[in-house]
Amino acid sequence: MNYFSVLSLNREPFSNTPDPDFFFHSRQHVQCLQKIELSIRLRRGLNVVIGEVGTGKTTLCRQLIRRFARDETIETHLILDPAFSRPLDFLSAVSNAFHAETEEAEKDPGHTKEAIKKYLFAKGVEGGKAVVLIVDEGQKIPSFGLEILRELLNYETNQQKLLQIVIFAQREFEKKLRRFANLTDRISLYHLLGPMTFRDTRAMIRFRMDKAGSGDRAGRAFTYPALWAVYRHSRGFPRKIINLCHACVLASIIRNRERIDWFTVRSCALKMAPAVWPTRPRRRRALAALVGLTGIGIFLSLEIGYLDLPAAWSIEKISRSIIMDRGAERPLRRPVEPASVSARLTRPKAPPMSPAVDLHSREVEWTNFVKDVPVAWLRPESLGAVSLQPKESISWLAQQIYGNRNGRLPDIMRANPEVKDFDRVPVGESIRFPAKPITVIPWFEDCWWLVLGETEELEAAVELWRRYNEQVSGLRMVPYWSKQEGLRFPLVCLPYGRYRGPMERRLAALPAEARRSASVRNLWREDRVFFADPFAAME
């Protein structure tokens, strides 16, 4: 298309179809493909890949088929839509995919299962092939479909499974799996797909622009602030990245501009559907709730003429709990002070012919009451500060604290405006690390970590890391906060495990000094706000 020549493009770079030529090998997608391929070649049986909408499940599905297309020892079959109303329909779809249908199978599920069994034995035992059934949109599989898949997994020899199943599904599929314990126990690979990091987002955009363009100019069409804006608005979801970048490319072509800047990305993001690009709805709801509760308090004071201290405190406490809810993106800069509305609500109106009331004493009582609010109830904005030691850098500290090297650098730069050059920070400089909550997707709620120690201050946790670094490998921090515990910094030894027994054996193998303070614990709790993903290995 000639109009793509403005950006030195030969074709559309951000098509919404799963084109294998535009598949970007991000770290998490490559790891997922490698795990699936290894499980299939080892004939492990059932593999499940879970991810939110737009995380690239269908693209991975097509890429998996393409990877095995040239391998004569692996035979792949695909079911795109497993939403069937009858068990016979589900069996017929599997049979048709294997080309194992029979005339009797049209009415009898038993004949269909027997035909599938013969096909699997012919291919797997006599032909030596691995038969792979790939199911996309796995959340649509009905309950009887899961039972059928469990029965098909029973077709095996003494050495291997005859059928390899790979299911790509959305998060609601997890609820179905919980009701089928006999199927969950057969899962060999359970992989969770999450959004991409800023580094992968930037690399994917440039990869697609280079693939669709000619020369280096196409790959540099997005400025660095524009790439950051794309990541912020898309939150790292590949489908949203592609849709937003497509709108930005069209806007740049219409305006006849060779560069796509931050303002273009922001303008295109605001024009897209509100359902796709939320603009802090939780904070708006929180503020609306606060205004509503304050209005109720004013109404009660006007109608009743007197509102005692505990009632005023309950309104204030509820308002704070709404604002400081872990679902909000960040807490307010300071707690809500009752100096205006709430303080006036606590002042009693003296009835007629009654002596005057000492309002000053009530205000003092209220002020002392507010000072007694536990500090742990307020979610922190900063994890703390760490002084740089020789041979240490900010990116190195970020890797130990957050679990990644570059994902939090923009936030750290904003938290330390006095630092002019982050590549040359002198030894002894105190660097603040922001407390930015993240969304944690647990693999299993009963995972176990080997915790070498836990502190309440970041500086102490870093010192603990420096002490054990040469004795134990794979150390990192998992900072979290909760109303009951406050801010905590456990030092864990990767990798974590699903079962406690192997972790106890790792504990026993630690050096004597590290073993004295170490323990095996489950860090995951829904009421905890995490600032680093405990389920992610250190990059």
Helix (H, G, I), strand (E, B) or coil at 504: helix
Query: pLDDT, tens digit, for every residue of 285-307?
Result: 656 666 666 666 655 554 444 43
Query: Has residue 20 been placed in a domain?
Result: no
User: Which of 251, 45, 63 is CA-nearest to residue 159?
Assistant: 45
pLDDT > 90 fraction of the chain, expressed in percent and rounded: 4
Task: Dig out the tokens for 444 from the structure.
Answer: 């299993």
Let me know whether 253 and 298 are in one domain: no
Residues 181-219 as b/e (b if ≥16 CB within 10 A, e otherwise) read: eebbebebbbbbbbbbbbbbbbbbbbbbbbbbbeeeebb
CB 112 within 8 Å of CB 99: no
Q: pLDDT at residue 130 above 50?
A: yes
Domain identity same for 109 and 37? yes
Which has more pLDDT, 26 or 442? 26
Note whether 390 and 470 are same-domain residues: yes
Does residue 4 lie in a domain region?
Answer: no
**Are 365 and 315 spatial neighbours (Cβ–Cβ below 8 Å)?**
no
d(CA 4, CA 213): 9
3-state secondary structure 266-301: HHHHHHCCCCCCCCCHHHHHHHHHHHHHHHHHHHHH
One domain for residues 69 and 165: yes
Question: SS3 of 407, please?
Answer: coil
Cα gap 333→378, rounded to integer Å = 10
Q: What is the pLDDT of residue 300?
A: 52
Answer yes or no: do 310 and 430 share one domain. Answer: no
* Cβ 370 vs Cβ 413: under 8 Å: no
Q: How many domains does the chain have?
A: 4
Q: Average pLDDT for residues 83-101, to the nearest whole number? A: 83
Q: Is residue 165 part of a domain?
A: yes
Helices 57-68 and 27-41 sit at what angle, rounded to 10 degrees?
A: 50
Q: What is the DSSP string of 170-227?
A: -TTHHHHHHT-HHHHTTEEEEEEE-PPPHHHHHHHHHHHHHHHBSSSTTTT-B-HHHH
**Which band of pLDDT confidence, cut at 50, 70 and 90, is reported for residue 322?**
very low
Domain annotation covers residue 2 = no
Beta-carbon count within 10 A of 78 CB: 15
Q: Confidence band (pLDDT; 50, 70, 90) for 480?
A: very high
CA pseudo-torsion sign 430, 452, 191, 177: negative
Average pLDDT rounded to a whole number, residues 410-420: 85
Whether residues 169 and 86 share a domain: the answer is: yes
Per-residue pLDDT reduced to its tens digit, 368-388:
333 444 444 567 888 888 888
> For the residues 46-56, what does the mean pLDDT come to?
88
Whether residue 72 lies inside any domain: the answer is yes
- The predicted pLDDT at position 106 comes to 56
At 315, the pLDDT band (50, 70, 90 cuts) reads very low
Query: For residue 349, what pLDDT is reported?
Result: 44
- Residue 444: per-residue pLDDT: 63
Domain with residue 509: its CATH number is 3.30.70.1070
Inside any domain, residue 3: no
Domain shared by 526 and 393, yes or no: yes
In this prediction, residues 328-338 reach a mean pLDDT of 41
- Residue 183 scores a pLDDT above 70: yes
Per-residue pLDDT at 185? 84
Residues 67 and 142 in one domain: yes
Q: What is the identity of the amino acid at 508?
A: A
> 432 in the Ramachandran plot: left (φ > 0), alpha (ψ -120 to 50) or beta?
beta
Same domain, 180 and 164: yes
398 CB-contact burial (10 Å; exposed 0-12 / middle 13-18 / buried 19+): buried
Q: Between residues 227 and 495, which one has the greater pLDDT?
A: 227
Look at residue 243 and give its three-state secondary structure.
Answer: helix
Would you say residue 407 has pLDDT above 60? yes
Query: What values do phi and psi take at 83, rounded to 5?
Result: -80, 95
Residue 12 confidence (pLDDT): 83
Q: Is the peptide bond before 495 cis (omega within 30 degrees of 0)?
A: yes
Residue 166 has pLDDT above 90, yes or no: yes
482 and 346: one domain? Answer: no
Residue 15 lies inside a defined structural domain of this protein:
no
Q: Which domain holds residue 335?
A: 281-373
User: Based on the domain organization, do 301 and 226 belong to the same domain?
Assistant: no
Q: What is the pLDDT at residue 304?
A: 46
Whole-angstrom distance, CA of residue 306 vs CA of residue 3: 71
Q: What is the bridge-based pairing of β-strands 187-193 and 382-387?
A: unpaired
239, 271, 303 - which closes a domain: 271
254 falls within a domain: yes
Greater confidence (462 vs 288) lies with 462
pLDDT at residue 352 tops 60: no
Q: What is the pLDDT of residue 291?
A: 67
Does residue 492 carry a pLDDT above 80? yes
CATH of the domain at 111: 3.40.50.300
How many whole angstroms separate alpha carbon 161 and alpha carbon 388? Answer: 54
Helix axes 281-304, 309-323, angle to 10 degrees: 170
Per the model's pLDDT, the better-predicted residue between 135 and 213 turns out to be 135
Per-residue model confidence (pLDDT) at position 109: 78
Mean pLDDT, the chain, whole residue set: 76
Check whether residue 222 and residue 148 sit in a common domain. no
pLDDT score recorded for residue 338: 43
What does the pLDDT read at residue 219?
A: 66
**228 membership: H or E segment, kind and range:** helix 224-234
pLDDT exceeds cutoff 50 at 332 = no
Strands lying side by side in the sheet with 130-135: 74-79, 130-135, 163-169, 46-51, 187-193
Mean pLDDT is lowest, of 4-13, 342-351, 414-423, for 342-351
Domain boundary among 178, 193, 208: 193
From 316, 347, 373, the end of a domain falls on 373
